[in-house]
Amino acid sequence: MDEEIKIINEKTRNERIKIFLVENKKIIISTITILIFSILSFYSYKIYVDSQKRKLSDRYNSAIIEYNNGVRDKAIISLKKVITDKDSTYSPLALYFLIDNNLIDNRIDVNKFFDIVINKISLETEVRNLIIYKKALYNADYIDENELLNILKPLLNSSSVWKSHALYLVAEFFYSKNEKEKAKEFFNQIIMTENLNQEIFNQAQKRLNRDLSE
């Protein structure tokens, strides 16, 4: 008797499953199709991204080789193109190479490239902060205090590891202008900063004790 009831229950369950599959056939097929399409799209996109990354890497490395072989103009064009491709790895590297080797004379152009890297590319926070600091460092000899502070504002208002570097740059900027009270204010801020670079601390303290102790 129990065995018969078990067999009947199994048949009933199987019949319900068949009815459910028949009634929901379109939904089930659509769901499976969407799932398969999503998986294929994900892997296709990943393959595309990896391919683009390899192409960009090849173009960057080729530009460096061209520069080392004396093909300067072609290398500059290629490196500028790498920047405008807005890659989180190679765009900053291309910008650094152009700046470090003095390959762009126009400061406006350099700042446009800085802005692309800072504002148009998805970067880790501290990587972006480093590039902001480099932009300020690049411009420090040519701009006034308001422009310098405006560039460094994201760092000065943060707890970034680059905050002490930004404060030191501003302090030295004012010291070079013989605005000693303003310089002293920023050197003192360095002493109280968290995430402080020890070398920056030592330099700030030395400046305060030796040149601004009055």
More confidently predicted of 140 and 39: 140
Please state, in angstroms and as integers, the Cα–Cα distance from residue 29 to each residue in 25, 34, 59, following that order: 6, 9, 44
More confidently predicted of 110 and 38: 110
Write down the domain spans for the chain.
Answer: 1-45, 52-123, 140-214
Q: Give residue-wise pLDDT tens across range 45-84.
A: 455 455 566 787 889 999 999 989 989 999 999 999 999 9
Q: Give residue-wise pLDDT tens across range 156-199.
A: 999 899 999 999 999 999 999 999 899 899 989 988 887 677 88
Q: Is residue 167 a contact partner of residue 186, using CB atoms and an 8 Å limit?
A: yes
Question: What is the number of other CB atoms lying within 10 angstroms of the CB of residue 186?
Answer: 20
- pLDDT class of 98 with cuts at 50, 70, 90: very high
> How deeply is 22 buried, as exposed, middle or buried, from its count of CB atoms within 10 A (0-12, 13-18, 19+)?
exposed
> Would you call 106 helix, strand, or coil by DSSP?
coil
* Its pTM surpasses 0.85: no
Q: Is residue 54 a contact partner of residue 87, using CB atoms and an 8 Å limit?
A: no
Is residue 4 scored above 90 in pLDDT? no
Q: Is residue 196 a contact partner of residue 190, using CB atoms and an 8 Å limit?
A: yes
Is residue 94 scored above 90 in pLDDT? yes
Q: Retrieve residue 16's tokens.
A: 């319900």
- How far apart, in whole angstroms, are the C-alpha atoms of residue 97 and residue 177? 30
For tokens 């048949």, the residue is: 11
